[in-house]
Structure 1
């Protein structure tokens, strides 16, 4: 998370959801309060680890006396059967904190694993994999960290840290020309601006607007262009137009990106390929907890 306090509050809410106002009634009914044990967090699948801080925080909030030792770091590849962490202390506390910690570990490791797979498919192209704002509310910082653990990069964090003009902004803002004029008036010199275009005519209009500004000695408005839902041929044509522009402009590609299509998009000229499915369609990486009484 952006701060440790934010992570603590997130995990506290997750534990409250799981425990209610009563606690773990199954463990209370079956396990002696003085029982101690050693538990092993074990990977059930091959993939990349992400989310260890969530496990640490969950166990710490349940019982600060629990000891957690990691044998793998976030971003490391894990294999089926590999012990990634060892937890020692109260058996009741371990059982109570287990599910919240493992749920987040599995979820975030799934994001890191898929990100890493896409990053490998781009090897040698120079293009990078990025996330989007299509995240689970409350989990954005963790999910974006998981993308970084997988070798990807982060797009803007929210609506506050960069300008991304999409088709609805253009439609409700009176058209592309009016929107570009407003951006020129209101966007600060330190604010990054990206425009999403649906076709090459819109792209030409964006590039012509900034080319005219450059000819008159003014700074360009647009730093990146998002080519939305275009195939490799259109991307190649658009990228060529952008490369001929007198100012540097990042070429981003998005829309329906899959493992089967991603390399062709990169080879067509994309600098960045953003993939919403990294976070909105997560296949979790399975982890288990094996607990042994001491």
Structure 2
């Protein structure tokens, strides 16, 4: 999916939702009034979402001038002035909430991911997101994950194969599911992402891990395993051609325990909390009439 097209559509949908038939309150301001709006960060956070913020003003206030004073991915300080917007006062007022909503959401995602990435510094382990995103904003949130220093898992059901417990149960087992996965990729001629799609299998026991490795799995998700089981899983993987599979840990991952998981020797740690447990960053916009 094209990021720029997604940004345009995200903003269009958000403005339809918020402005709808028109901003009644903005009509209290003279039609020809001009204003300068300054956005301040009220807390330390990672700045993310500039493109969505700017696109909002582009769609509502085409003649407005947006001037950024910080770069995407910068760590902002408390009360830092990050952007100035100058233009028609009515238009700035109508765009304000939608623009800030994108900025606070994506900055919140990037800030959370940054904390996890910092906790993993010095290890070879990557922090990875999931499909547990706000509907309609998946590409935006996955972009924010990368700004925060994380990595993207599959974007959607069409570009990756993740064999979970229900797939295993209904496909006839891990070996059968892995074999069928390649056939699915080969047969998906109408899907441009299929041939490059990764195949991952989720295992819950060491016996399942052994079966997956024996069947040739190269990407394995260790789901809700204890530290002792993960340690054994890493050792087992090393016994198969010196660790031919990448191991990913998932389940009950928090900022407090993510480092301990990494130190067990896994390659990736995934967490849905990166994109579904969002605490928005506090921004304030103040306007002055020119």
Q: TM-score band, normalised by the shorter chain?
A: over 0.9
Change (3 A) 1:201 1:43: same
User: Secondary structure of 1:37's match?
Assistant: strand
SS in 2 for 1:125: coil
Name the structure 2 match of 1:18.
18
Deviations 1:103-159 (A, max 9, x none): 010000000000000111111111111100111111011100100000001111111
Residue 206 (structure 1) aligned with residue 209 (structure 2): no
Q: Find 1:77's aligned residue among 75, 78, 85.
A: 75
Match of 1:286 in 2: 282
TM-score of the two chains, using structure 2 as the length reference: 0.93
Give the superposition deviation at 1:91: 1.2
Q: Secondary structure at the match of 1:41?
A: strand
> How many aligned positions are there?
281
Aligned to 1:8: 8
CA 1:145 to 1:190, structure 2 compared with 1: closer, same or farther past 3 Å?
Answer: closer
3-state SS of paired residue (2:215): helix
Structure 1: 5+ residue stretches without partners: 211-221
Q: Does 1:243 align with 2:241?
A: no
> Corresponding residue for 2:190?
none
Displacement of 1:178 in angstroms is 2.3
Q: Secondary structure at the match of 1:86?
A: strand
1:259 aligns with 2:255: yes
Does the 8 Å CA contact 2:6/2:139 hold for their aligned counterparts? no
Of 257-266 and 6-15, the range deviating more from structure 2: 6-15
Q: SS in structure 1 opposite 2:274?
A: helix
CA distance in 1, matches of 2:117, 2:41: 22
Instruction: Give, in angstroms, the shift of residue 192 of structure 1.
Output: 1.8
Shift of 1:184: 4.9
User: How far, CA to CA, are the matches of 2:75 and 2:68 in structure 1?
Assistant: 13
Q: Is the 8 A contact 1:192 1:223 kept in 2?
A: no
Q: What SS is found at the alignment partner of 2:261?
A: helix
Give ranges in structure 2 of 5+ residues lacking alignment.
187-194
Residues 233 and 268 in structure 1, CA contact (< 8 A), matched pair in contact too:
no
Q: Is the 8 A contact 1:47 1:79 kept in 2?
A: yes
Counterpart-to-counterpart distance in 1, 2:101 and 2:147: 17
Q: Is residue 2:225 matched to residue 1:226?
A: no
| Equivalent residues of 2:36, 2:287 under 8 A apart | yes
**RMSD of equivalent CA atoms:** 1.4
Secondary structure of the corresponding residue to residue 256 of structure 1? coil
What is the aligned partner in structure 2 of residue 62 from structure 1?
60
> Structure 1 length normalisation: TM-score?
0.92
**Alpha-carbon distance, 1:243 to partner:** 1.8
- Where 2:259 maps in the other structure, the secondary structure is helix
Q: Which residue of structure 2 aligns with residue 27 of structure 1?
A: 26
| Contact 1:2 1:141 (8 Å CA) reproduced | no
For the pair 1:49 / 2:47, whether they are aligned, the reply is yes
Q: 2:152 aligns to what SS in structure 1?
A: coil
Matches within 5 A, 1:160-179: 160-179=158-177
Any conservation in 2 of the 1:131–1:279 contact (CA below 8 Å)?
Answer: yes
What does residue 216 of structure 1 align with? none
